[in-house]
Amino acid sequence: MVNVTYFNQNAFFGRGAINEIPGAAKARGFKKAFVVTDPTLADPKVGTAKKVTDILEAAGIPFELFTDVRPNPPVECIKDGVAKFKTSGADFLIGLGGGSPQDVCKAIGIIIANPDREDVLSLEGIANTKNPSVPIFGVPTTAGTASETTIHYVVTDTEHKHKFASVDPHDIPIAAFVDPDLTDGMPRGLKVATGLDALTHAIESYITPGAWALSEALSLKAIEIIASSLAKSSEGNKEAGEQMAYASYIAGMAFSNVGLGLVHGMAHPLGGRLSVAHGVANGILLSTVMEYNKDFTGEKYRDIAKAFGVADAQTGDLETVREEAVQAVHKLAVSLGNPTTISEVGATDSDIDALAQDAFTDANTPGNPRKATLGDIKALYRSLM
């Protein structure tokens, strides 16, 4: 078997990393930026987008700001961005924000380079586009989605209440700028949700059948950092927050190259049909799906348990340690105040059939270590009511 990896051409880490954007742009001969962000980050009172645009202005790089980005970004938002990019005269993109701005940015760049995909819906699954995206710089403002280093993005088909993933090596940002100064200001709830998203990325990429030595090293390191840093970060510890920014990126490097599993497969329908924030959905699902998978993961739950400080992780019998790993993840989510049932986020019994059908066909579900039937998925959703 041959393993293939896709990583950014360059990545800049540390406080002040965004100051490297002009040099990276000029080194590539770029002339004008199209900055994709959301209304909150663009708000002058928040000032996040201004931090980046001030740097561009000081370097003499013109830009256009696109702020019409919504959570669980809909097809219409992407089409609007494509139209505005076409008239902007820009030759590169900057995705500034969490998952939604970065996803919109990727979709815009792919469609501009592949106009046969202007319908957006044809990008679902393995996209198989012909041309690389318009060059993208990924600038995360959350520590969770890792869109700045992945070949994935998600789109919501609002007409059919369907949230889907697109997997395309052509969409990976050519450069990433992971600057903890931009993630410090996240509200606590966002730190929790995005941190649980990062943990899900790390665990699912660790136990997926496609994992191999390089991806496992990245996944496990991310689990270790998140286990020791997420709670502290959520309470405002800046050093822990910085570690979370790096852990998110490390987990992204892993899952982008080996895939995810049923947690993401089940989380996407909660976002598409009920508008549940993605990290919140993952936090609800993670320990339950871990329990479902535990007999299909070999010795890997020992490593997860060790990362969470379980005393007998290496010496206990495997069945016990697997359960301890599940409980350690569950306790973290509970301690952080994440919801633990899907009814808390608006799901009812009448939603389960549609949610399960969407999850069964989601692009991430085949990466699960245990092959899930439609009945299994329905039962898992019901157990979380």
The tokens for 198 are 């990062």
pLDDT in tens, 338-385: 999 999 999 999 999 999 999 999 999 999 999 999 999 999 999 999
**Which pLDDT tens digit goes with each residue over 130-148?**
999 999 999 999 999 999 9
- Same-domain status, 38 and 91: yes
Q: Is 163 left (phi over 0), alpha (psi -120 to 50) or beta?
A: beta
195 and 176 belong to one structural domain: no
Is 157 found in the same domain as 200? no
Evaluate whether residue 1 is within a structural domain: no
In a domain, 22, yes or no: yes
- The alpha carbon of 82 is separated from its chain's Cα centroid by a whole number of angstroms, namely 22
Examine the domain organization and report whether 306 and 339 are in the same domain.
Answer: yes
In a domain, 124, yes or no: yes
Structure confidence by residue, pLDDT tens digits, 45-73: 999 999 999 999 999 999 999 999 998 89
- Residues 84-133 have pLDDT tens digits of 999 999 999 999 999 899 999 999 999 999 999 999 999 998 989 999 99
Q: What is the mean pLDDT of residues 312-333?
A: 98
Give yes or no for residue 35 having a pLDDT over 90. Answer: yes
286 and 143 within one domain: no
From first CA to last CA, the distance across the chain in angstroms is 41
Q: Please state, as a whole number, how many other Cβ atoms lie within 10 Å of the Cβ of residue 51.
A: 18
Do 291 and 171 share a structural domain?
no
| Residue 84 placed within a domain | yes
d(CA 157, CA 36): 20
- Specify the pLDDT at position 275: 94
288 and 147 in a common domain: no
Does residue 2 lie within any of the structural domains?
no
Q: What domain range is 273 assigned to? A: 188-383
Helix (H, G, I), strand (E, B) or coil at 133: coil
- Same domain for 22 and 110, yes or no, is yes
Cα 127 to Cα 196: distance, rounded to the nearest angstrom: 27
Please report whether residue 5 resides in a domain.
no
- Both 223 and 355 in a single domain? yes
pLDDT over threshold 90, residue 289: yes
Contacts of 189 (CB under 8 A, 6+ apart): none
Same domain, 176 and 299: no
For residues 164 and 206, membership in a common domain is answered with no
Domain end, chosen from 164, 183, 202, is at 183
Does the pLDDT value for residue 258 go beyond 90? yes
- Last-in-domain residue among 138, 161, 183: 183
- pLDDT band at 227; cut points 50, 70, 90: very high
pLDDT (average), residues 254-273: 97
Predicted local distance difference test score (pLDDT) of residue 49: 97
**For position 306, which CATH number holds?**
1.20.1090.10
| Predicted local confidence at residue 1, as pLDDT | 84
According to the model, what pLDDT value does residue 72 have? Answer: 87
d(CA 283, CA 303): 20
10-13, strands of its sheet edge to edge: 10-13, 175-178, 136-140, 92-97, 33-36, 63-66
Give pLDDT, residue 284: 98
363 shares a domain with 240: yes
CATH number of domain containing 132 = 3.40.50.1970
Percent of the chain at pLDDT exceeding 90: 96
Helices (H), the chain: 21-27, 39-42, 48-58, 75-88, 99-113, 180-183, 188-207, 213-234, 238-258, 262-274, 278-293, 300-307, 318-335, 352-361, 374-383
d(CA 380, CA 366) in angstroms, rounded, equals 16
Across 4-8, average pLDDT: 97
Nearest to 347 by CA among 277, 273, 263, 282: 273
Mean pLDDT of 137-161: 95
